[in-house]
Structure 1
Amino acid sequence: MAAPVAARRWRGLWGPRGGASPLRAFATVIPKVSQVDNSSDFLGRVPHRRHPGVLHLKTVQLPAELVKAAQLLVEQSTMQGLKDKVEGLTNYLWSRKRPLEATELQRRGVQLEQQLRETLRPRTEDPPGPLTDAEEQRLQRRVLNRLRKTTYHWEELRYTEELSLVYMAARLDGGFAAVSRAFHEIRKRVPAFAPRTLLDFGSGTGSVSWAARTTWGDTLSEYLCVDSSAPMLALAERLLKGGAEAPLFPGVHFRQFLPVSPKVQFDLVVSAFALNELPSRAQRGETVRTLWRKTDGFLVLVENGTKEGHQMLMEAREIVLRGGDKVAHDPREAHVFAPCPHHLPCPRLSPERSLPCNYLQRYLPLPFRWNPALKGELFSYLILRRGPGPEGGPEGEGQAPWPRITQAVLGRARHVHCHLCCADGRLEHAVITARRHGRDLYRCARQSHWGDRLPVTTPPGEAAVGDDGEAPPGLGAGSAAPVG
């Protein structure tokens, strides 16, 4: 999904640029309690376009060595129809769903059998009599046929040498872009974090190691890439060497299994686009618990920006936050570092309308003839951290975390629309103006992007008071004001 398409869609919803918004009357307005005047210095000498909540990356570019290595592998291959295979695999991976659990399949079968049984019972009898053996067999065949047509059939992907090359051509650049965006947020918000060890579960082409190397450089001295596919590990090693004998950077180790000892921990643990390769929810849960045991600093999970990807991440979030791991050797608690500003249930998973929490990262794709000059990766991510919570960060001691911008920011004449996920677990649609909220906050909002955090705080003990003396709906229970 390209950014211009999304922008046109939103323009169609909100009307022509500069015109009155038909939905503006239904928007939540940040309460006007405190306002930073034009002489305020909460930004210091930092321009508004670089305010403390800015986290987006402009356009991600793969390392030149990695691009050359990928091109060399494609040139050396004798595979025919690579373009069509890349498009087919890309579409398949994007539309892939989680495997259906056995209990859910059984529930559907019983429900369907009850519905079909009514159609086979003789209507002349009151009450209807039992079905004959022939009718029972016919009923079971109809149930099985209907289940086959209406149930998603998950299949394990076995990455042979050929399929590994197709996956590299299809997903190396997009995966690198998504993981780079997640790493960028850690580095931006916690500049003192300097990981020395990295564990990449489901490493695939090794794009996580390349992204970590690009982000933290020589700080990392050990990379452990774990993937069950031997051909995929061989391809990742060839990419790392770039056609030479020695690897392009040292310290990378390839394994087919995770380290056995539960006491072995890594500063940074990553699983990118790997949870959906597991055949059941139980195995996903056990894998997440194992990865969390091995996390000393940050656990980064990245999936497709679909409902399925988002729901898998929310499953993992619940597992880690719930705790209860009896074999854990690290007593430090977990907290959600990004993108959620809270530990409450995700407001986008409402029973009425479930929407994925996803973000868009632009990147320069591999220079194959079928690729455009610029592409966008729509992804969902979750970053969990051991140790201290968000208190004491840029928000200030005791302040609620800044809200996350969950959609494209809509700039209109003298006002800005921001869709926010707030610290109280609610989704808010805020309309920000310079007259009501001050020039600095207005300009910060106007310069913000999808995925940034808006630097407004909720001071403890203060109530939001509107012009009529009552508390209007806003960014949580307190007042919203630029951080100062």
Structure 2
Amino acid sequence: MDIPAQLRAAVEQCLNNTTIEELSQASEGLSKRYRAETRDGRMHIADRTAAGAYLAARLPATYAATHCALSALAQQFEDFAPATLFDAGAGPGTALFAASALFPTLTHAILYEQSTDIIALGRNLCRETVPFPVIWQQGDFSSLVNSSQSQAELVTLAYVLGELAENQQVRLADFLWQITSGAFVIIEPGTPAGWQRLLRIRNNLLLQGAFIAAPCPHSAPCPLAAPDWCHFSVRLARSRLHRQTKQGTIGWEDEKFIYMAFTRQKPENLTSRVIAPPRKTAAGVSLKLCNPDGTMACPAFAKRDKQTWKSVRKATWGSKLQSLIKNFKLQLTV
């Protein structure tokens, strides 16, 4: 996956007056804070150079993960056509850019962000890439949960929960669910800690009547147990600027992420989802599946079963799969 060419050009234009050395140094500092999930009262993006480093080094991966999460929502609800978006912790507008690529019906967006430096860059990016009015609101999350906001058909929260204390995470998610009229999508790093954060939010929102459109094909307790955890991966292309900022030579990187799409409308025809990389052999493939009945299984599909093989041979990590367990005798490898 790659970010849209127009967005890439706008990012490079924003960073014309910043040296690679400055971006690289700031990117390293950002990475350390994100990996350590530092909560010291300081914003991760504390100045304009850090904001620029985010554009160069983190925007592409965040875009790719958010695009995947929103794509899963769109696949489950093919007629979902939101006109309004509210994004909390918007950064430079990354979720908006991904949503705009998938939902051409969007006509209005409100982006809430604390960092004035990233807002300044985000305004520039939106002017170049978004064909409708975007309203920016500046403030912290304590202010947000005490504010009055209009309902939005699509609400997003990407890579934010890890910056907050547990009680703040739940309160923020509750607030955002209350202003959601259609779908509320949360994306987090694909780590055990990110999974645990989403499980807490999942349990809380289910009690409030939310439905899950993806990735879970059920509302039962998660069948996975630590040290295992649910997460996905997307491979994204690295631009020259991206490689230089991260001091890398490889033209791609893999972003591990976890997401959950909550909806007001009950999803229909939920099917099994592949929750790990397929294990292919000469004889066939084994798939780790989360199933609509709330179970997890690892069936093996043989190439000799032509009908079954046709259905599963193109399955990928994160994709939906028609439930075949009841229709075929499978060798379970749980």
TM-score relative to the length of structure 1: 0.62
Taking only aligned residues, the RMSD between alpha carbons, in angstroms, comes to 2.5
1:274 equivalent among 148, 160, 163: 160
* Bigger mean CA offset, 360-369 vs 153-162: 153-162
Aligned to 2:115: 229
What letter corresponds to residue 177 of structure 1 in structure 2?
Answer: A
Distance in 1, Cα, partners of 2:306 & 2:19: 60
Matched, 1:432 2:301: yes
In the alignment, structure 1 segments of 5+ residues that lack a partner are 1-59, 98-152, 324-332, 394-400, 476-484
Distance in 1, Cα, partners of 2:328 & 2:88: 49
Q: Deviations 1:247-292 (Å, cap 9, x if unpaired)?
A: 7522211002549336x211100000011222x2111111000000
Matched, 1:378 2:247: no
In the alignment, structure 2 segments of 5+ residues that lack a partner are none
Matched, 1:173 2:46: no
Matched, 1:294 2:179: yes
Aligned to 1:304: 189
Cα 1:465–1:68 change in 2 (3 A) is: closer
Percentage of matched positions with identical amino acids: 27
Matched, 1:355 2:228: yes
The DSSP-based 3-state class of the residue aligned with 2:103 is helix
Aligned to 1:38: none
Aligned to 1:447: 314
Aligned to 1:418: 287
1:338 equivalent among 199, 214, 224: 214
Aligned to 1:220: 106
Q: Deviations 1:268-325 (Å, cap 9, x if unpaired)?
A: 00000011222x21111110000000111111000101111111111111111122xx
Distance in 2, Cα, partners of 1:450 & 1:212: 22
Distance in 2, Cα, partners of 1:346 & 1:189: 20
Aligned to 1:148: none
The 5-angstrom pairing of residues 38-437 of structure 1 reads 60-77=1-18, 80-93=21-34, 95-97=35-37, 154-158=39-43, 159-217=46-104, 219-242=105-128, 248-257=130-139, 258=144, 260-261=147-148, 264-278=150-164, 280-323=165-208, 333-348=209-224, 350=225, 353-368=226-241, 369=244, 370-371=247-248, 372-388=250-266, 390-391=267-268, 393=269, 401-435=270-304
Deviation at 1:386, TM superposition (A): 0.6
Distance in 2, Cα, partners of 1:228 & 1:84: 22
Deviation at 1:361, TM superposition (A): 0.8
Distance in 1, Cα, partners of 2:83 & 2:151: 11
Question: In 1, are the aligned partners of 2:39 and 2:163 still within 8 Å (CA)?
Answer: no
Distance in 1, Cα, partners of 2:161 & 2:154: 17
Distance in 1, Cα, partners of 2:36 & 2:74: 31
What letter corresponds to residue 219 of structure 2 in structure 1?
Answer: H
Distance in 1, Cα, partners of 2:88 & 2:94: 12
Cα 1:79–1:376 change in 2 (3 A) is: closer
Distance in 2, Cα, partners of 1:426 & 1:299: 25
What letter corresponds to residue 249 of structure 1 in structure 2?
Answer: P
Select the structure that is richer in strand: 2
Task: Give the number of aligned pairs.
Answer: 322
The DSSP-based 3-state class of the residue aligned with 1:223 is strand
Deviation at 1:465, TM superposition (A): 10
What letter corresponds to residue 318 of structure 1 in structure 2?
Answer: N
Deviation at 1:212, TM superposition (A): 1.0
Q: Which runs of 4+ in 1 moved over 6 A?
A: 464-467, 472-475
The DSSP-based 3-state class of the residue aligned with 2:240 is coil
Deviation at 1:474, TM superposition (A): 9.7
Q: Deviations 1:415-453 (Å, cap 9, x if unpaired)?
A: 211111122333211111255xx4122122121100012
What letter corresponds to residue 239 of structure 2 in structure 1?
Answer: L
Question: In 2, are the aligned partners of 1:156 and 1:277 still within 8 Å (CA)?
Answer: no
Cα 1:299–1:203 change in 2 (3 A) is: same
What letter corresponds to residue 425 of structure 1 in structure 2?
Answer: G
TM-score relative to the length of structure 2: 0.88
Deviation at 1:165, TM superposition (A): 1.6
Distance in 2, Cα, partners of 1:83 & 1:466: 54
| Larger RCO (CA within 8 A; separation ≥ 6) | 1
